[in-house]
Amino acid sequence: MPPDPAVSSAEPHAAGGAFVAPAILESMQARRARRGREHFFPGVPDADWNDWRWQFRNRITSLDRLATRLPFPARERATRRAVLREFRMGITPYYLSLIDPDDPDDPVARQVVPVAEEQSDVSAGLDDPLGEETFSPVPGITHRYPDRCLMVLSNSCAIYCRYCTRKRIMAEDAVFDLHLDRMVEYIAGTPAIRDVVVSGGDPLSFATDKLDRILGRLRAIPHVEIIRIGSRVPVALPMRVDQELARMLARHHPLWVNVHFNHPHEVTPDAARACDRLSREGIPLNNQTVLLRGVNDDETTLRALCHGLMLMRVRPYYLYHCDPVRGADHFRTTVARGVELIEALRGHTSGLAIPQFVVDAPGGGGKIPVNPQYLLSYDHGRAILRNHQGRTYETQDPPDLPGGSMPSPGPPTPPRGRDGLSPQDPPCAGRPSPPHGSENSAEPEAPSAASDWVHRRQ
């Protein structure tokens, strides 16, 4: 397939109909990307640069190649080599072009370049912080909530983020057909599943026809209503999103794509064109940002990112507290900082541009929304509220309805979600045992299938 000529056009409306807002075309990020390409890859013709396969083949995967473009002290080589034994590196030429080689704290580099702190943090954190394998009834499936499941298609990505919650599985293999068959069979045999999140690895790094076949198998399951794809390809390899891919995805509607921008430097004309191609095929785009210390944990950066996303018609969806994965402690900040950042956005930008801050509970507890406290008191229908300026206001419930009150502290709410499945619902591995002393008390179930297909450190 020839490379898409629209990828590097300087016009807002490029060939193929891709649109870029003038504010992005004329942005500092656009100039940075052009300078980065000229600095790191002088002489590479457009035909190669705009070819996603060339980009994928020419990723930076070794310290030797990294050192020729981003020199680092020789004394750090042994430590960085040890880091790469724990978690591989992959940086596309395009994503490298977004890095400022003169900035030792560049926020793009910080996400993908291995550093000594990873080795210092290696004993902290967990291999599987979200308990995905505990909730895995067959290899590649995580079924934590009653009506939706995660389907991990691949453990290969265009770039490898140093804070990745699935570090434990990242390798250059795809899922065996046998495992894919078992995943599809499980979903087809579980009528409660109406929403499938296809992730990895990165599904959009697959060949178009192969991904088409997989999505077609899911779409053929009558009870699957929604398909969602999680991908960082529009951020790190935007030339992959050509017209052929976008139109193929549209054949499997209703289909959503969740992208993963973390910093405004990633909001470039190329990324905007990739998002536009998906949007024009009727694919809604949501963004999931991870809150990362030294990358986006300040108000100015986060606001600029959210505004840039809105220019690309991408809705800021989640702001994740960084998971306690092994080797990533230097990325993590406090829950309080996340709440402060959301409060700094509220009232200073449109509500549509404010993501929901969530903590993905360790061990498989699921996403827990964490918000600033705006309801100060609520008693017998009288609510005292605080706005973004710190001013307080009072409102009263309608007189013809019983006045509500804030719940008093008491025992925890009974478990809901997948833990509360009724007996007729399909069982899933890893369901926690009932509270000790209940008549159904039992030992916790072991997972029904080990994720034996994933890459594990030896």
pLDDT tens digit string along 353-379?
999 999 999 888 899 999 999 999 999
Residue 52 to residue 158: CA distance in whole angstroms: 10
Give me the catalytic one of 166, 168, 228, 303. 166
Q: Is 1 exposed, middle or buried (0-12, 13-18, 19+ CB in 10 A)?
A: exposed
Residue 70 to residue 111: CA distance in whole angstroms: 14
- pLDDT over 60 at 309, yes or no: yes
Tell me the average pLDDT across 345-360: 96
pLDDT tens readout for residues 160-194: 999 998 887 765 555 667 689 999 999 999 999 99
The kind and range of the H/E element at 361 are strand 356-361
- pLDDT over 90 at 307, yes or no: yes
Give me the catalytic one of 88, 94, 121, 145. 145
**Residue 297 is among the residues annotated as catalytic for this protein:** no
- Find out whether 318 and 288 touch, Cβ atoms under 8 Å: yes
Tell me the average pLDDT across 419-429: 40
Domain assignment present for residue 278? The answer is no
The kind and range of the H/E element at 117 are helix 116-120
Q: What is the largest CA-CA distance in the chain?
A: 75
Q: pLDDT-derived band of residue 55, with 50, 70 and 90 as boundaries?
A: very high
- pLDDT over 80 at 103, yes or no: yes
**Looking at per-residue confidence, does 387 or 414 come out higher?**
387
Tell me the average pLDDT across 119-144: 85
* Bond prior to 324 in cis (omega within 30° of 0): no
Domain assignment present for residue 291? The answer is no
Domain assignment present for residue 245? The answer is no
- pLDDT over 90 at 421, yes or no: no
Q: pLDDT-derived band of residue 123, with 50, 70 and 90 as boundaries?
A: confident
**Residue 144 is among the residues annotated as catalytic for this protein:** yes
- Which of 255-264, 284-293, 296-305, 364-373 shows the lowest per-residue confidence on average (mean pLDDT)? 364-373
With b for 16 or more beta-carbon neighbours within 10 A and e for fewer, the 118-131 pattern comes to bbebbeebeebbbb
Tell me the average pLDDT across 4-33: 72
69, 85, 120 - which closes a domain: 120
Domain assignment present for residue 39? The answer is yes
CA distance readout (Å), 78 to 72, 73, 326: 12, 10, 19
Residue carrying structure tokens 């900035």 = 103
Residue 119 to residue 238: CA distance in whole angstroms: 31
- Which of 17-31, 123-137, 165-179, 255-269 shows the lowest per-residue confidence on average (mean pLDDT)? 165-179
- Find out whether 445 and 135 touch, Cβ atoms under 8 Å: no
**Residue 367 is among the residues annotated as catalytic for this protein:** yes
Residue 329 to residue 338: CA distance in whole angstroms: 16
Which of 257, 252, 254, 218 shows the shortest CA–CA distance to 241? 257
pTM for the whole thing? 0.86
Give me the catalytic one of 51, 80, 106, 157. 157
Helix, strand, coil content of the chain in percent (nearest 5): 35, 15, 50
Q: 10 Å Cβ neighbour count for 207?
A: 11
User: In the prediction, which pLDDT does 198 show?
Assistant: 97
**Residue 360 is among the residues annotated as catalytic for this protein:** yes
Give me the catalytic one of 360, 418, 419, 428. 360
Give me the catalytic one of 217, 313, 367, 382. 367
Tell me the average pLDDT across 63-68: 94
Q: pLDDT-derived band of residue 8, with 50, 70 and 90 as boundaries?
A: very low
User: In the prediction, which pLDDT does 442 show?
Assistant: 34
Residue 320 to residue 58: CA distance in whole angstroms: 31
Domain assignment present for residue 332? The answer is no
User: In the prediction, which pLDDT does 273 show?
Assistant: 98
Give me the catalytic one of 149, 161, 306, 428. 161
- pLDDT over 50 at 457, yes or no: no
Give me the catalytic one of 110, 148, 240, 277. 148
- Which of 42-46, 54-58, 339-343, 418-422 shows the lowest per-residue confidence on average (mean pLDDT)? 418-422
120, 145, 180 - which closes a domain: 120
**Residue 210 is among the residues annotated as catalytic for this protein:** no
Q: 10 Å Cβ neighbour count for 173?
A: 14
Give me the catalytic one of 106, 121, 270, 323. 323
70, 92, 120 - which closes a domain: 120
Domain assignment present for residue 155? The answer is no
Domain assignment present for residue 32? The answer is yes
Give me the catalytic one of 164, 275, 306, 428. 164
Q: Looking at this protein, which amino acid is placed at residue 121?
A: D
Residue 440 to residue 443: CA distance in whole angstroms: 10
- pLDDT over 50 at 89, yes or no: yes
How many structural domains does the chain have? 2
Residue carrying structure tokens 């969530």 = 358
**Residue 161 is among the residues annotated as catalytic for this protein:** yes
| Domain membership of residue 20 as a residue range | 15-120
Domain assignment present for residue 84? The answer is yes
User: In the prediction, which pLDDT does 175 show?
Assistant: 60
